[in-house]
Structure 1
Amino acid sequence: MLKNLKETMKNAPIVRRGTYNYFIHPISDGVPLVRPELLREVIACIVKNANLEVDKIVTVEAMGLPLGAALSTMTDIPFIIIRKRKYELPGEIAVHQATGYSKGELYLNGINKGDRVLIVDDVISTGGTMKAVIQALEQAGAIIEDIVVVIERGEGRKVIEDMGYRVQTIIKIDVDEHGVKILGCIDDKL
Structure 2
Amino acid sequence: MDSNLEPLARSLRDAPVVDRDGYEYFVHGVTDGIPPLEPAVLEAVADGIRDRIDLEGVDKLVAPEAMGIHHGTALSIATGIPLVVVRKREYGFPEEVAVHQTTSYGEDELYLNGVDPGDRVVLVDDVLSSGGTIEAVCEALEAAEAEVSDIVVVLRRVDADHEDVSREVTNLLDVRVRDGALEVLDSE
TM-score, L = length of structure 2: 0.92
Secondary structure of 2:186 counterpart: strand
Q: How many angstroms apart in 2 are the aligned matches of 1:39 and 1:17?
A: 26
Q: How many angstroms apart in 2 are the aligned matches of 1:8 and 1:74?
A: 21
Q: How many angstroms apart in 2 are the aligned matches of 1:172 and 1:74?
A: 23
**1:31 equivalenced with 2:24 (yes/no):** no
Q: Show structure 2 runs of 5+ residues with no match.
A: none
Identity value in percent: 44
More helix by share: 1
Report deviation, 1:182: 2.2
**1:90 equivalenced with 2:61 (yes/no):** no
**1:144 equivalenced with 2:148 (yes/no):** yes
CA RMSD of aligned residues (A): 1.3
Aligned position for 1:128: 132
Secondary structure of 1:11 counterpart: coil
Q: How many angstroms apart in 2 are the aligned matches of 1:184 and 1:58?
A: 27
Aligned position for 2:18: 15
Q: How many angstroms apart in 2 are the aligned matches of 1:20 and 1:90?
A: 38
Q: Show structure 1 runs of 5+ residues with no match.
A: none
Q: Which amino acid aligns with 1:107?
A: Y
Q: How many angstroms apart in 2 are the aligned matches of 1:10 and 1:131?
A: 29
Q: Extract structure 1 runs of 4+ deviating beyond 4 A.
A: none
Match of 1:118 among 99, 102, 122: 122
Match of 1:168 among 167, 170, 181: 170
Contact 1:21–1:177, Cα closer than 8 Å, also in 2: no
Aligned position for 2:161: 155
Q: Deviations over 1:89-141 (max 9, x none)?
A: 11100000000111010000011111100111001100011010010001110
The number of equivalent residue pairs is 182
Q: Deviations over 1:126-176 (max 9, x none)?
A: 0011010010001110101011100111222x743xx3x321011111114
Q: How many angstroms apart in 1 are the aligned matches of 2:88 and 2:177?
A: 26
Q: How many angstroms apart in 2 are the aligned matches of 1:112 and 1:18?
A: 38
